[in-house]
Amino acid sequence: MADDRKPAKPPGFETLAIHAGSAPDPSTGARNVPIYQSNSYVFDDVDHAASLFNLQTFGYIYTRIGNPTVSALEEKVAALENGRAGVATSTGHAAQMLAMYILMEPGANFISSTNLYGGSVTQFTHTFAKFGWNCKFVDPGEPENFRDAIDENTKAIFLELLANPGGVIVDLEPVADIAREAGIPLIVDNTTASPYLAQPFDWGADIIIHSMTKFLGGHGNAMGGIVVESGRFDWAQNDKFPSLTQPDPAYHGLTFYETFGDFGFSTKGRAVALRDLGPTLAPMNAYLILTGIETLPLRMERHVQNAQAVAEYLEAHPAVAWVSYAGLKSSPYRELAKKYLPKGPGSLFTFGLKGGYEAGTSLVESVELISHLANLGDTKTLIIHPASTTHRQLTEEQRIAAGAGPDVVRISVGLETIDDIIADLDQALDHAMAKAAE
């Protein structure tokens, strides 16, 4: 085609959120991605079946390892993260397990930031230990702490860029340099920022994890997780990753990195980890999350705007001791936020009440519009007292290290009318102050 049109400009984020992975259905023309509620797929013939099973042809066999609705979602999130490929899972925790299953061996370890979602601390400390995978936690405030913790059995660094629960931002670039020098991947849990606010691959991350349960789905109605690979990590640069660089006996001697190159990690995740561990995303949930993502940019914009207003309101309130939101002038993370989260530091943050534990529990019991529950990234404003709930299983020391001390309240600011959110906090804070004065 003779073409004097301008070279194609890459599509913008909003366009990708709507169109990536969501082409019209080739067989019916359905404009919206259908829910392929089918467990299995008919083979053309025996040769076709054999080539599918040998991973020589791309196609669908059985929904545990692949489904067209789930594929559309994987393609969309990989596009939004500017990654090469993704593997969706039933939950965010399953995504973490799947990524680590590929990288770890019994006796191996990974280094993690202490500032994590409480469930991740528990998963890494207790459950992964039963597989012989050890996690060494370091304070991410000083990037060199990651380097100091690395030893010859270290297979990865894991962190949350915008950490749950406390509005802490990790300086990603120097940590990515440390991982690169050690020849290990940097895994970033980008759940609380979402790809709209932060793009960890631009700063040297190699693998991104999401709990799609949160902002990606965005409506509190479907659980899901995903592992996205950048496609830029060289798994063969050392001998640390035999499950990618050595023939796989569970796959008739296939070597995943050699065969699939820049999407070898994802292929291993699908063909072996999903196949054998089974934490598959349901097509219905993939559909709900796909629908949610179409409005991600608009939602995140308003989430950030409302969070800023709530943080400013709380900071000026006499019952509040401190507010940890990187959008405030008082935040030590303001500069890092400008660098890594230029569109705003999310809508999940913590604050402390002068009345301590009692005031915290009284506040969460006094809200009316706001929901007291364990989730985040919903259209609805959500509140929780981590020390008595999400971070309950941790020791007091771990709780404080994770930013979940006794006085801490976590809020996920939603999309209601801002005056209504603030009015509800106002009456609940009055209750909490009265309770603390008793």
- Count of residues in contact with ligand PLP, rule CB under 6 A: 17
Side chain identity at residue 37, one-letter code: Q
Alpha carbon distance 37, 282 (integer Å): 9
Paired with 292 in beta bridges are none
Q: The tokens of 308 are what?
A: 């800023």
Q: Choose, by CB under 6 A, the member of 223, 272, 323, 384 that binds ligand PLP.
A: 223
Cβ at position 81, least distance to ligand PLP in Å: 15
Between 94 and 254, name the residue whose CB sits nearer to ligand PLP: 94
245 lies in the site for ligand PLP, by CB under 6 A: no
Q: The tokens of 95 are what?
A: 């995504």
Could you tell me if 323 and 402 are in contact, meaning their C-beta atoms sit under 8 angstroms apart?
A: no
Residue 185's nearest CA partner among 157, 147, 209 is 157
Pick the stretch among 46-54, 206-214, 250-258, 300-308 that binds ligand PLP (CB under 6 A).
206-214
Judged by DSSP in three states, 60 sits in: coil
State the DSSP string of 330-343.
T-TTHHHHHHH-TT
Pick the stretch among 1-9, 86-94, 177-185, 304-312 that binds ligand PLP (CB under 6 A).
86-94
Alpha carbon distance 258, 71 (integer Å): 23
Cβ at position 13, least distance to ligand PLP in Å: 21
Cβ at position 260, least distance to ligand PLP in Å: 27
Pick the stretch among 20-28, 184-192, 281-289, 417-425 that binds ligand PLP (CB under 6 A).
184-192
Pick the stretch among 116-124, 195-203, 389-397, 413-421 that binds ligand PLP (CB under 6 A).
116-124
Alpha carbon distance 79, 23 (integer Å): 14
73 lies in the site for ligand PLP, by CB under 6 A: no
Give the helix ranges, DSSP H, for 254-406. 256-260, 264-268, 275-277, 283-294, 296-315, 334-340, 356-366, 396-401
Q: Choose, by CB under 6 A, the member of 117, 133, 251, 340 that binds ligand PLP.
A: 117
Q: Choose, by CB under 6 A, the member of 114, 164, 243, 285 that binds ligand PLP.
A: 164
Q: Choose, by CB under 6 A, the member of 192, 194, 285, 306 that binds ligand PLP.
A: 192
Span 91-110, contacts to ligand PLP by CB under 6 A: 91-93
Alpha carbon distance 199, 192 (integer Å): 12
Residue nearest to ligand PLP (CB): 92
225 lies in the site for ligand PLP, by CB under 6 A: yes
Between 63 and 213, name the residue whose CB sits nearer to ligand PLP: 213
Between 115 and 366, name the residue whose CB sits nearer to ligand PLP: 115
Alpha carbon distance 294, 15 (integer Å): 9
Pick the stretch among 89-97, 177-185, 242-250, 361-369 that binds ligand PLP (CB under 6 A).
89-97
Alpha carbon distance 91, 103 (integer Å): 19
* Close Cβ partners of 77 (under 8 Å, ≥ 6 residues apart): 86, 88, 195, 210, 212, 216, 226, 228, 293
